Amino acid sequence: MLAKLTAKNQLTLPKAAVEATGNAEYFEIEARAGRLVLTPVRMQRANAVRAKLAELNLGDDDLAAAVAWARKVSTMRTSGRVAETPARYRRTPKPRKP
């Protein structure tokens, strides 16, 4: 089978090759002895996130606090409010003309 390399360094894979891999969306690529070897990868994002959270020693309470913080910040951004209290300026009255 033949694949074409585009000007943007993208490969167009033949449909038969993609179907043979089970229509994988991601591939691991290795350069081996002048050849490119594509291996289909099944992304398990939820497991990767759980592993990273465990590595960082973050628990349910930490996640709940982070979500609450993010929602608070998001609400402030969409409503036009700022997290800081607005500064108060004293307005000096203009002198009256006699």
Looking at the structure, tell me whether residues 11 and 35 fall in a common domain. Answer: yes
CA triple 73-69-52, angle to 5 deg:
120
Over residues 3-15, the pLDDT tens digits come to 888 999 998 888 9
Looking at the structure, tell me whether residues 32 and 59 fall in a common domain. Answer: no
CA distance 49 to 84: 32
Model confidence, pTM: 0.41
Q: Determine the pLDDT at residue 33.
A: 93
> Does 72 have pLDDT greater than 70?
yes
Is 73 part of a structural domain of the chain? Answer: yes
Over residues 13-69, the pLDDT tens digits come to 889 988 888 888 888 999 999 999 999 887 777 888 888 888 999 888 888 888 888
Looking at the structure, tell me whether residues 8 and 37 fall in a common domain. Answer: yes
Is 59 part of a structural domain of the chain? Answer: yes
**Count: domains in the chain:** 2
B/e letters for 31-44, b = 16+ CB within 10 Å, e = fewer, are eeeeeeebeeeeee
Q: Residue 12: which domain range?
A: 4-41
Q: Determine the pLDDT at residue 35.
A: 92
Looking at the structure, tell me whether residues 36 and 51 fall in a common domain. Answer: no
Is 88 part of a structural domain of the chain? Answer: no
Q: If you search the block for the tokens 């309470």, which residue do you land on?
A: 61
Is 13 part of a structural domain of the chain? Answer: yes
CA distance 14 to 2: 7
> Does 89 have pLDDT greater than 60?
yes
